[in-house]
Chain A
Amino acid sequence: MSNAMRTPAGAINVERYQGAVAEGRFRRLWNANAPGYLFLLPWLIGFFGLTLGPALISLYLSFTDFDMLQSPRWVGMANYVRIATADPKFSAAMHVTLTYVVFSVPFKLTFALLVAMALNRGLRGLTFYRAIFYLPSLLGGSVAIAVLWRQLFASDGLVNAALSQVGIEGPSWISHPNYSIYTLVALSVWQFGSPMIIFLAGLRQIPQDMYEAASLDGASKFRQFYKITLPLLTPVIFFNAVVQTIDAFKAFTPAFIISGGTGGPINSTLFYTLYLYQEAFGNFRMGYASALAWILVLIIAVFTAFSFLTSRYWVHYDD
């Protein structure tokens, strides 16, 4: 206790006392919190300067016409109205992206699960197989792989050379609007390695004695898969599905390289992000591109919310 408290109440003393308390409180607050905020400082600057600020500005820009030369001109909902009603390229991009998501994600997850189950048997050489299957996932995002893919599915490419050996004359996959998107689906499925590794980790969590008990009771392998593996794996399946779907919505590089940045032939590989890029950095319609970005966020958010809402009907957590 300080002396200030014991002195009879006089204006000066009280002020001094309150000042001392305030100063003490401030110092205590500072001492307690300063280290935390000092450590957070770089992140806080980044959060306000590079995330929150830009996100708010982007929301504002989405209601404007902005070509980077003149200052943004407010147009209200015009960008969104045009996206919804009068932009054939938007619907093309949406169609391409949804096709990609709907075909690539289920195939990728199925392969990932099948291979993970084949590997999860205490096989010799597990590390080797795991590495080989994971390698394409790690290399897959690079330009070199997209270049390679473009060659594989060219009319005189490797796939058609292989097909011709069994007497089939393959089409020109890359330059045919009906097939081009599926070459990109194939590229995505080829990279099933990282969901496979997550499945492997999940499979290892399933207690082995459940299978032993089931086979003692005479349950077939199929029944064991259906009644034990699948239900216990649903949290991992859910996780993989959400992550891969969000990723598929954001795909960019392969479509850009394979179509030479055009999204052709006839917009058949015009991924959503590619269209956004063209609008922003090709046509300098920054306001319109911002609206496109927010639509993408909305779609991803709706999809994620929907997944989480439905998940309680099929995802089992044991707690």
Chain B
Amino acid sequence: MTEMTASVTAARPPSDITKRSLPASLIIHALLIAASLLMVYPLLWMVSASVRPETEIFSSTSLIPSSIDFSSYARGWVGLDVSFGRFFWNSLVISLLVVAGNVIACSLTAFAFARLRFAGRNFWFAIMLGTLMIPYHVTLIPQYVLFLNLGWVNTILPLVVPKFLASDAFFIFLMVQFFRGIPRELDEAAMMDGCSAWRIYWKIMLPLSLPVLATAAIFSFIWTWDDFFGPLIYLNDMNTYTIQLGLRTFVDSTSASDWGGLFAMSTLTLVPVFFFFLFFQRLLIEGIATTGMKR
């Protein structure tokens, strides 16, 4: 762990805080605050539009509504034949299963690559890294045909089962990096005492790896929650829709008529991601900084 994050968390010398002149620092702060406002303005506007009276949505660029009215939420929630509650539930089930799949399967794979010796390890590791570079478009169509023939289309299986087969090589790589930082003496000593590989994985490795497991879990959740392409292809029955598909259907069905409801439901789909962000900001940012995850 320390090896990976040292560069990020290393404190800078306090000297350069004190060295700068006050005016320069004020200018920088003013610029940064202005830029921050610009960045979050669209988001705040959307939240504010969701509680505005319908007639007022497009009349002002201001963020503060003249009166607060939550009726858009009630209207949007039941705006389709299937309620948003169903979409939320579907998204939640898929996301949690993906989290479980990624954490279990990727940690098993990463443990083998990082800590076990076996013939062909380097070969398979190179192959695994190679799969990181293959865009999913290449496997998309045969996978679709496969899942269609298995009768899995319109179920959550095509979105979930591959994760239990460690299909997210990125998380394997992340965990390998982490596992390698854990002192070798630990499992060597355990091995001497006759500990099986499974016990070492379960009793030593996993408990010491909670930070990286949490990072992988949180990113898995957010990316799955936000995923649009997978559900678009595999889920065609509205009862199986995820929140993203539900929202897109809502856009199509209301087009310009119910903007309040649309912004209300849009806001709701962002809420879980926003809370994850609020609580796990440090983990997310360290994850990005140390590994260069995209998004």
Contact in complex: B12, A122 (CB < 8 Å): yes
Contacts of B112 in A (CB 8 A): 35-37, 39-40
Q: Does A229 contact B (CB under 8 A)?
A: no
Q: Does B239 contact A (CB under 8 A)?
A: no
Quick one: closest A residue to B124, CB to CB?
A40
| B residues lining the A interface (CB < 8 Å) | 7-8, 10, 12-14, 16-17, 20, 25, 28-29, 31-32, 35-36, 39-40, 42-43, 45-46, 58, 60-61, 105, 108-109, 111-113, 116-119, 121, 124, 127-128, 131, 133-135, 137-146, 148, 162, 164-167, 172, 196-198, 201, 222-223, 225-226, 228-229, 232-233, 244, 247-248, 251-252, 259, 262-263, 265-267, 269-270, 273-274, 277, 281, 284-285, 288-290, 292-295
Contact in complex: B135, A42 (CB < 8 Å): no
Quick one: closest A residue to B250, CB to CB?
A147
Could you name 23 residue pairs across A and B whose Cβ atoms are closer than 8 Å? Answer: A35-B116, A47-B128, A51-B131, A51-B134, A57-B145, A61-B141, A118-B32, A122-B14, A123-B28, A132-B36, A133-B36, A138-B284, A142-B244, A147-B247, A148-B266, A162-B61, A194-B295, A201-B289, A240-B292, A289-B141, A293-B135, A296-B137, A297-B138
B-contact 0/1 string along A124-155, CB 8 Å cutoff:
01010111111111111111110111011000
Contacts of B244 in A (CB 8 A): 142-143
Q: Does A281 contact B (CB under 8 A)?
A: yes
| A residues lining the B interface (CB < 8 Å) | 29, 32-33, 35-37, 39-40, 42-47, 49-51, 53-55, 57-58, 61, 68, 115, 118-119, 121-123, 125, 127, 129-145, 147-149, 151-152, 156-158, 161-162, 165, 190-191, 194, 197-198, 200-201, 204-205, 208, 239-240, 243-244, 246-247, 250, 252-253, 256-257, 260, 273, 276-277, 280-281, 286, 289-290, 292-294, 296-297, 300, 304
Contacts of B265 in A (CB 8 A): 144
Q: CA–CA, A240 to B292, complex, Å?
A: 8
Q: CA–CA, A140 to B225, complex, Å?
A: 12
- Given A122-B16, A133-B36, A139-B273, A55 and B134 contact (CB-CB distance below 8 Å): yes
Contact in complex: B145, A68 (CB < 8 Å): yes
Contact in complex: B269, A290 (CB < 8 Å): no
Known: A55-B142, A152-B42. 9 other contacts (CB 8 A): A37-B112, A40-B108, A43-B108, A125-B29, A131-B285, A143-B269, A161-B58, A201-B7, A276-B137
A46 interface neighbour in B16, B162, B196, Cβ under 8 Å: B162
Contacts of B294 in A (CB 8 A): 194, 243-244, 247
A39 interface neighbour in B116, B222, B232, Cβ under 8 Å: B116
Q: CA–CA, A147 to B262, complex, Å?
A: 8
Q: CA–CA, A257 to B60, complex, Å?
A: 25
Please give the distance in Å from A242's CB to the nearest CB on chain B: 10
Quick one: closest A residue to B225, CB to CB?
A142
Quick one: closest B residue to A287, CB to CB?
B141
B165 interface neighbour in A50, A156, A205, Cβ under 8 Å: A50
Q: Which 10 A-B pairs have the closest CB atoms?
A: A36-B118, A46-B165, A144-B266, A54-B142, A39-B112, A35-B197, A54-B139, A201-B289, A43-B166, A57-B142
Contact in complex: A144, B270 (CB < 8 Å): yes
Contacts of A137 in B (CB 8 A): 295
Q: CA–CA, A302 to B7, complex, Å?
A: 32
Q: CA–CA, A253 to B295, complex, Å?
A: 13
Quick one: closest B residue to A131, CB to CB?
B281
Q: CA–CA, A127 to B284, complex, Å?
A: 13
A133 interface neighbour in B12, B39, B145, B289, Cβ under 8 Å: B39
Contacts of B144 in A (CB 8 A): 280
Please give the distance in Å from B62's CB to the nearest CB on chain A: 10
Contact in complex: B266, A50 (CB < 8 Å): no
Contacts of A253 in B (CB 8 A): 228-229
Q: CA–CA, A296 to B138, complex, Å?
A: 9
- Given A47-B131, A205-B7, A194 and B288 contact (CB-CB distance below 8 Å): yes
Contacts of A290 in B (CB 8 A): 141
Contact in complex: A143, B228 (CB < 8 Å): yes
- Given A123-B25, A141-B226, A280 and B141 contact (CB-CB distance below 8 Å): yes
